[in-house]
């Protein structure tokens, strides 16, 4: 049976839940957060909880989700306009996702002046999620 010691619960699940809910409230109250740090649309509660628990970047999640919803791919400019954030931030996330093998681009090394289409590699994303889950559960 879970008890309370000095104002803290001895139930780790309840403690985590309370801390996550508290952090979500803090994030929602931070109206002054720069646009480059968070997507314009609020996240569903389950996604918001996961963002807090795993320390994930909400904007990167929004970029991945947007690419998942647009399987034909999108340009960095279209993503920037859709998410109403800065172009440089979107491009940095796309470059990191491409480097990790989760996003592919239809351009080679010479990208200047080209219209680059970014596409989500859903198999690579699912593999990364599965691998992280295996790690978390000690498998």
* Residue-wise pLDDT tens digits, 86-139: 999 999 999 999 999 999 998 766 555 568 999 999 999 999 999 999 999 998
CA angle 34, 46, 85 (to 5 degrees): 25
> Using one digit for the tens of pLDDT, what is the confidence trace for 27-54?
554 444 444 455 667 778 888 888 888 8
CA angle 63, 91, 126 (to 5 degrees): 40
pTM of the predicted model over 0.75: no
The sign of the CA dihedral 1, 12, 134, 62 is positive
Are residues 10 and 3 in contact, defined by beta-carbon separation less than 8 angstroms? yes
Domain range 37-136, CATH class: mainly alpha
The sign of the CA dihedral 53, 82, 25, 17 is negative
């Amino acid at each position: 049976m879970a008890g309370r010691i000095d104002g803290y619960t001895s139930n780790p699940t309840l403690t985590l839940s309370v801390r996550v809910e508290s952090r979500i409230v803090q994030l929602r109250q931070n109206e002054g957060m720069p646009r480059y740090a968070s997507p314009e649309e609020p996240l569903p509660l389950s996604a918001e909880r996961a963002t807090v628990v795993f320390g994930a970047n909400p904007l990167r999640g929004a970029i991945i989700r947007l690419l998942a919803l647009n399987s034909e791919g999108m340009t960095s400019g279209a993503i920037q306009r859709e998410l109403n954030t800065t172009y440089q931030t979107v491009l940095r996330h796309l470059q990191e996702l491409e480097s990790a093998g989760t996003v592919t681009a239809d351009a080679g090394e010479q990208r200047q002046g080209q219209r680059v289409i970014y596409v989500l590699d859903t198999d690579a994303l699912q593999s990364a999620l599965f691998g992280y889950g295996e790690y978390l559960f000690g498998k």
